[in-house]
């Protein structure tokens, strides 16, 4: 895809189609009004006779417009002016792109009026355009044997109008947005694969392939014997019931120059989760192939920092296992010793994500990180608390948690902070081990975080529970690519870019 910024002269741009915003009351945006003037009032005439209402999500393609170089114009509804903001702007552009991709239009100029004020500066305007284009172009990597849909014709996108003083920022935004969209597509491709394809070994192979693509990446894969040497007893307990061997993946971005301590991203990589002996209910169990979304997000972020050559050392740690019931599987009541030397009474084998993450978090210490962030589809309780709109965020360092929440706002990939106080850790008390892996039904998302917190003392650590945001079920079942945009913004900011 070719992205460019334009400053003025919309009516003279040599593109197949210009995309214009119109409000619900028929009021035209400034750019739409300019096109209307060039075409001797054609748009006003169409709006006057009710051909287009301007409701959010509505589009209308117009051909053969006199007075402009483009052969077509696409009107996209902005909703009411009083309610118009960043959310409606994104929806309007996404709707427009959906309409464009149904045609053979190869080039467009985006002229959808931005929200007022500072909701969308030049950098985030460019980035949002590129991200929305990338998301609109994404096609699920299905394994159907029928004829594949045609490749979209769209090849070139011009974004604007941007004042001369903002062109550099908008161009940087386009570059970053294209990289974020590619990273999110990588996450989605990995997470959408069935579990008989995307195994722990497959994830390790994908990490190695990524290392070959980028010279700044160093990849190490620990097999089961090496994991045992690291004394990762909790991780091995989860993997015990599966014929798929576990893998522990270390992928590191080491730029020529970097400032500050490294950022370590830790991803939950349960390539399929039956719940183990604590077997899940059969309905929707197929969606447990998405339980490796955290690991996919880590690989996506490492691809992004390498592509953008960010001057920031970033380490990705992926604990990859399959959680299956078997004669040798870990049982409720079993006690295992973690890599940190702490003993855990496993009361529920379906609370397995925290078991593999605790060993990975302990491993992170050797990098002397400035920040550690784990990403996991960890608890159904987080979905109950926040639904599918916000990821849960908590940690032991308020500044780091604040960074992530703010990054989510800027990236339109929001997270919400949950409390993490001592009372929740008290729910994990055990009569037989240092603590249990579950603390009851109440506050389940937070007690899971409290469990992880026991392994992060002395680290600046935050936890993202993306169980409700990393994928969606139903007719549109598939990976969403979240929270890669949030993490991308966090890393780009950390790198000073």
Which helix H or strand E contains 449, and what residues bound it? helix 444-453
In 279-365, beta strands by DSSP E: 314-323, 334-337, 343-346
Show the tokens assigned to 450.
Answer: 């409290």
For 182-302, strand residue ranges (E) read: 217-222, 247-253, 263-273
- Kindly list the catalytic residues: 280, 354
**Residue ranges in 197-266 assigned as alpha helix (H):** 200-213, 224-229, 233-239
Closest CA to 467 of 490, 434, 487, 444: 444
- Would you say 107 and 154 are in contact if contact means Cβ atoms under 8 Å apart? yes
Task: Say how far apart CA 37 and CA 11 lie, in whole Å.
Answer: 10
The C-alpha atoms of residue 91 and residue 57 are separated, in whole angstroms, by 7
CA distance 455 to 230: 15
Please, are residues 268 and 352 in contact by the beta-carbon 8 Å criterion? Answer: no
Cα(450)–Cα(432) distance, integer angstroms: 19
Q: How far apart are CA 41 and CA 370, in angstroms?
A: 59
With CA atoms as reference, report the closest residue to 395 among 361, 367, 353.
361
**Nearest residue to 369 (alpha-carbon basis) of 360, 379, 377, 382:** 360
Strand duo 314-323 + 391-395: pairing: unpaired
How many CA atoms within 13 Å lie on the side-chain side of 492?
A: 26
């Amino acid at each position: 895809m070719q992205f460019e910024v334009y400053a003025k002269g919309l009516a003279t741009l040599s593109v197949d189609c210009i995309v214009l915003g119109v409000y619900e009351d028929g009021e035209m945006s400034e750019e739409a009004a300019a096109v209307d003037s060039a075409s001797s009032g054609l748009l006003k005439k169409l709006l006057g006779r009710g051909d287009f209402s301007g409701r959010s999500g509505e589009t209308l393609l117009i051909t053969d417009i006199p007075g402009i170089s483009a052969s077509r114009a696409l009107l996209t509804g902005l909703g009411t002016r009083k309610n118009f903001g960043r959310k409606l702007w994104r929806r309007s552009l996404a709707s427009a792109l959906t309409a464009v991709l149904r045609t053979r239009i190869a080039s467009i100029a985006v002229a959808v009026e931005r929200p007022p004020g500072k909701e969308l500066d030049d950098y985030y305007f460019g980035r949002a355009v590129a991200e929305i284009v990338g998301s609109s172009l994404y096609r699920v990597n299905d394994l159907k044997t029928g004829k594949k849909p045609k490749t979209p014709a769209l090849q070139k996108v011009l974004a604007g109008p941007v004042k001369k003083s903002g062109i550099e920022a908008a161009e940087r935004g386009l570059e970053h947005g294209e990289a974020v969209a590619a990273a999110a597509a990588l996450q989605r491709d990995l997470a959408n694969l069935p579990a008989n394809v995307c195994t722990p070994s497959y994830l390790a192979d994908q990490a190695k392939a990524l290392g070959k693509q980028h010279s700044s990446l160093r990849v190490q894969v620990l097999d089961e014997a090496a994991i045992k040497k690291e004394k990762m007893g909790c991780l091995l307990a989860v993997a015990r019931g599966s014929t798929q061997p576990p893998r522990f993946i270390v992928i590191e971005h080491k730029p020529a120059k970097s400032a500050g301590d490294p950022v370590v991203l830790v991803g939950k990589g349960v390539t399929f989760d039956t719940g183990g002996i604590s077997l899940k209910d059969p309905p929707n169990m197929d969606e447990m192939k998405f339980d490796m979304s955290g690991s996919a997000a880590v690989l996506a972020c490492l691809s992004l920092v390498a592509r953008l050559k960010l001057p920031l050392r970033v380490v990705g740690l992926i604990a990859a296992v399959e959680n299956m019931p078997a004669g040798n599987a870990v049982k409720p009541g079993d006690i295992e010793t973690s890599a940190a030397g702490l003993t855990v009474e496993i009361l529920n084998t379906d609370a397995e994500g925290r078991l593999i993450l605790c060993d990975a978090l302990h491993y992170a210490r050797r990098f002397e990180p400035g920040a550690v962030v784990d990403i996991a589809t960890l608890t159904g309780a987080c979905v109950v608390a926040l639904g599918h709109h916000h990821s849960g965020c908590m940690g032991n360092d308020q500044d780091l948690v604040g960074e992530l929440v703010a990054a989510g706002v800027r990236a339109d990939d929001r997270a919400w902070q949950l409390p993490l106080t001592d009372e929740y850790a008290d729910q994990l008390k055990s009569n037989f081990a240092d603590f249990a892996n579950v603390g009851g039904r109440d506050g389940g998302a937070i007690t899971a975080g409290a469990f992880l917190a026991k392994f992060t003392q002395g680290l600046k650590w935050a936890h993202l529970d993306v169980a409700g945001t990393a994928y969606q079920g139903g007719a549109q079942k598939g990976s969403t690519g979240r929270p890669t945009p949030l993490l991308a913004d966090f890393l780009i900011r950390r790198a000073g870019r």
